[in-house]
Amino acid sequence: MREAFCTYYFFVWTPSEESCRNGMASNGIALTNQPCGVKFNFRDWGNRSVYINVTGYVDRMINYNDRTTYLHIASTRNPMDPLGIWDNFSIGGIKVKVGDRDNLVMGSQCISSNDPHMTTFDGYRWENQRTGTFVLYQHRTLPYTVHVIYSECVPRRATCNCGVAVRNGFSYYIVRTCEIVSLYNTKILSIPCEKDQLCKAADLQIVKSGEHYTVTFPSGTQVSFSISSWNNFIGSVRIRASVSDIESSLGLCGLTNGDTSDDFIPKGGSSPTDSTTFAMSWRISMDSGVSLFSKLSSYYQDTSWIYNGGVQPEADDTYCTCAQRGPIDTYQFSLPNAVHCNMTSPSQLCEGGNAELTLNSCSNADNRKRRSTEDTDDVDIESELTYDKKYNESADIEVQIFVQQKL
Ligand SMILES: [Ca+2]
Ligand SMILES: [Ca+2]
């Protein structure tokens, strides 16, 4: 008997509630590092085990009790098996209990509040009244980044948030309200500059309500900020951590793990340091070419991961949500629309958001490079940000100590 006769494919799925809560599509579990099914090879029949790896779906809600969800398995038809002995095989309703981890990040909010007073995800309060562009948040394995701009708002005494750039891969959303970065001059734009590019609708969810902005990553990590109506600075930038940030967040927001003593891990470092060394390490120097506010930012040409392949090589695991089974008449996995694979976190944003934004084709970095020269909007916003002629990046700025304590 040929081995193919004894190779069978089984769909694995967990019905979706098809609802949208907290901006996240509902689901029960995600399959980890495997498609929406399992394959039994010739050699698997007998005493060998074939495993289905599942991860609890992140719903951004605190579930006080374990959540119960059901896993279903059903056969596909093997065309080489004339007897069709497995054709109608199915197991419905394998009970899976999902323990909640959202409670671990309950209240984990990183804040950059003018001038800027900082709070890490774990609640440590410190001061960073410096000028320049900073990495407020970065994920250790996912292509998620948030950059902020601080420029003078009270001469030589305080700086204020005046730019926020949120990036997931080649998709981004950028808002900027200042014209220059300066410790001496305030130059505010009369109208805030906004710039967006979405490669896939579910790369970022962007909600703008009046002067208030909320940008959500697929992991559920959420960035929010408001533009002040009286001075056009951005009052505060807040980032709410998600489960995916645990032991994985970098930047000024610090390492999320419930322990404030290790929050000040500098860029490229592995152990915590003082706040000055920490803050300066996450400042993006003027000429480094990696600021998301810079037209030629190398972030936009980053080819270390492939967009359409969907799998970032540095990501630890990939996930599939499998909301329904495929057709019985298939062999191998003919996957239905309700399947989302190659996700970098076991969560996904609701479809249908971002109604006002148009999608761009961002299939690869070459495309991205071409766009950056053709799209006049790009040149418009990105070329405007300048540094004050008197700006001395290496100057030692005195940071005023207002608070330096644990919450
Ligand atoms: Ca939960
Ligand atoms: Ca920590």
Query: pLDDT tens for residues 131-150?
Result: 999 999 999 888 899 999 99
Instruction: Give the ligand whose atoms come closest to the C-alpha of residue 272.
Output: 2
> How remote is the CA of residue 349 from the centroid of ligand 1, in Å?
15
Count CA atoms closer than 13 A to 336's CA, side-chain side: 15
**Average pLDDT rounded to a whole number, residues 343-370:** 65
Strands 180-181 and 386-387: parallel
User: Which ligand gives the minimal distance to the CA of 69?
Assistant: 1
- What ligand is nearest to the CA atom of residue 245? 2
pLDDT band at 371 (very low <50, low <70, confident <90, very high): very low
Ligand 2 midpoint to CA 247 (Å)? 8
Using the predicted structure, report yes or no on whether residue 222 has a pLDDT greater than 90: yes
Query: What ligand has the least distance to the C-alpha of 247?
Result: 2
- Mean pLDDT within 355-363: 62
Tell me, what's the pLDDT at 393?
78
pLDDT of residue 379: 38
Number of H helices, E strands in the chain: 3, 26
CA of 381 to the centre of ligand 2 (A): 35
Split at pLDDT 50, 70, 90, the class of 399 is low
Please tell me the distance between residue 223's alpha carbon and the centre of ligand 2 in angstroms.
Answer: 19
Ligand having the closest approach to the CA of 67: 1
Per-residue burial over 397-406, b = 16 or more CB atoms within 10 Å of its CB, e = otherwise: beeeeeeeee
CB 39 within 8 A of CB 8: yes
Q: What pLDDT sits at residue 360?
A: 64
Protein residues placing their CB within 5 Å of the ion ligand 2: 122, 255, 257, 259, 262-263
**Predicted local confidence at residue 406, as pLDDT:** 43
Ligand nearest to the CA of 27: 1
Using an 8 Å Cβ cutoff, are 132 and 89 in contact? Answer: no
Nearest to 204 by CA among 359, 90, 381, 96: 359
Residue 33 Cα, ligand 1 centroid: separation in angstroms?
21
Residue predicted with more confidence, 352 or 313 = 352
Q: Which ligand is nearest to the CA of 259?
A: 2
Centre of ligand 2 to C-alpha 78, Å, is 52
The pLDDT assigned to 121 comes to 98
pTM of the entire predicted model: 0.84
- For 370, list phi and psi in degrees, rounded to 5: -65, -45
Distance 347 CA to ligand 2 centre (A): 23
| Span 372-390, average pLDDT | 58
Expressed in angstroms and rounded, the spacing between residue 63 Cα and the centre of ligand 1 is 5
Nearest Cα residue to 5 out of 86, 90, 91: 86
